[in-house]
Amino acid sequence: MKTDRSTVLFQNSQKVIPGGVNSPVRACKAVGTLPRFIHRAEGCRLFDADDNAYIDYVGSWGPMILGHRHPAVIQAITEALARGTSFGAPTDLEMELACRVIEAVPSVEMLRMVNSGTEATMSAVRLARGATGRDIIIKFDGCYHGHADTLLVDAGSGVATLNIPGSPGIPASVVQHTLSLPYNDAEAVRSVMAEKGKDVAAIIVEPVAGNMGMVPPAPGFLETLRAVTQENGSLLIFDEVMCGFRVAYGGAQSLYDIRPDLTCFGKIIGGGLPVGAYGGRKDIMSQIAPEGPVYQAGTLSGNPVAMAAGLATLEQLRQPGVYDTLEKRSGRLAEGLAAAARRNGVPASFNRVGSMLGMFFTDRTVENFETAKTSDLPRFGQYYREMLDAGIYLAPSQFEACFVSLAHDDAAIEQTIQAADVSLAALSNG
């Protein structure tokens, strides 16, 4: 596979952008290769600067659930662009998208738009502290809630990929009130809340963890979080930036029938454009300025082009049978990959919730960050390179999820399974 143009672009990019990329995992250091520079996309495929085609399971890290360049989304963006790109003033589109999210997610009574998942989680934590008058935040090892100082503790995603324990530039005083516990460990949560619960402002969690690979919640885990927060007057924040409208139309909270106090959104609700949002109970959200004293603002928040793309995406997702189709295709892919691993004698563990998948190169059942870290990272790197050369575009990290879109038809999934069979055979023989 020819990659001359991508190589030159990366060399030039490193001269003007730190590491040559605008988000660390994209550099592909963890998988021992150079990034492919993408030129265009269509449906479930990406095309790089050398015109190589790839079946895409990154999906811009989750939002492209309809596939790339879906006609309805392109039309909505085009119509919005004809009216202008940004106003710095209210528009009907932001109200319509807020109404659509509130309609789909019963726990959300009011919603504030922002520009990224990091902004959403950062703002939700500030709101939780302001509303409760408490300082302590509990998160979970391997859950990534963006790069805000308060939450960059024992995080997943790029922090895990690059094996960074935290980050320089964050004073100890900033994170002294952030506690990180093992994901899926209900007993640890009960123990800490028994001791510190009356000082805990909130527990924030990915209800379906997608930043340590893909790890589903254990039975009773989310229920425990809901119970102990209610018992102690703390808030429960669901970070559904990744899984919101991905695992179900109403998000993970509808799938598991848990109603959090606050929810963070991103990715899918922007249809592939930069977006974030946080929302929840009206009495809590009313604490946000200008209605209340907790300050948060954003020049581009509610950008009309992003709002149009998000509305068009949610309109497609609310059609009958959409999530049944995603479930069927994702299940076929997961079963095919697992069968290929067994055929080739490669130890691998699989997790899936809806159209989010995780494949780990370990013989352990992956249920938290510790078990995810038992994965054979050099073997994953080899697998990644083999699959890339076979035209399959995966996230360049063992600690990221895989996403299936409505554009992944049976032929694309079968091609992926066949490529995995060959790639895993190469691993087995190597």
Catalogue the active-site residues: 144, 239, 267
Per-residue CA distances from 5 to 13, 24, 34, 45, 392 (Å) = 12, 21, 12, 19, 19
Give me the helix-helix angle, 304-317 and 322-343, nearest 10°: 80
- 3 state DSSP class of 165: coil
For residue 3, the one-letter residue type is: T
d(CA 278, CA 237): 10
Residue 381 CB partners (closer than 8 Å, separation 6+) = 30, 31, 32
For residue 277, the one-letter residue type is: A
The answer to whether the peptide bond before residue 290 is cis (omega within 30 degrees of 0) is: yes
d(CA 179, CA 137): 6
d(CA 315, CA 293): 35
CB 5 within 8 A of CB 50: yes
Q: What is the DSSP string of 384-404?
A: HHHHHHTTEE--SSTTS-EE-
CA nearest 204: which of 288, 117, 131, 262?
262
- Looking at the chain, how many residues does it have? 430
CA nearest 112: which of 302, 267, 334, 239?
302
